[in-house]
Structure 1
Amino acid sequence: MTVLSGTLNFGHGKTFNAGETQALTPGSVAIMAPGEPMFGQTGNEEMVIQLHGTGPWGIEYINPEHDPRK
């Protein structure tokens, strides 16, 4: 993942913890291993990321209530 604009506070783990995030600013890159749980948070600004890799892939929400597709 590459941050194109804005800031993404990104962390690893099954439970959201704002204190465990790293601020990723434009040009930052994060490696996301298959099956590894992670979380992110943005502020009040618009943020754009680019996801790139070899598929197939998908998003699985740990808490189904957080899935915006439902």
Structure 2
Amino acid sequence: MVTITVSGLHGVGKTTTAKKLAEKFDLRYVSAGTVFRQMAEEQGMTLEEFSKHVEENPEIDEEIDQRTAKEA
């Protein structure tokens, strides 16, 4: 299995780049942002609330990474 990870600051074109790579190489596109939003919803939190929660609980970043990798 091939996994390509694209990371960067908000608004720099990560999604556009990742989608183009996925299309070009016939790969599945998975977004950590989507996983983040799903987890916020599961916790009944707004994105702002969940962001603060993640800042206070850094182990959640690992869970986001694991879920994203599992989706890929």
TM-score by length of 1: 0.24
TM-score by length of 2: 0.24
Hey, which of these two has a bigger chunk of strand by percent? 1
Which structure has more relative contact order (CA 8 Å, sep 6+)? It is 1
Structure of larger gyration radius? 2
Hey, which of these two has a bigger chunk of helix by percent? 2
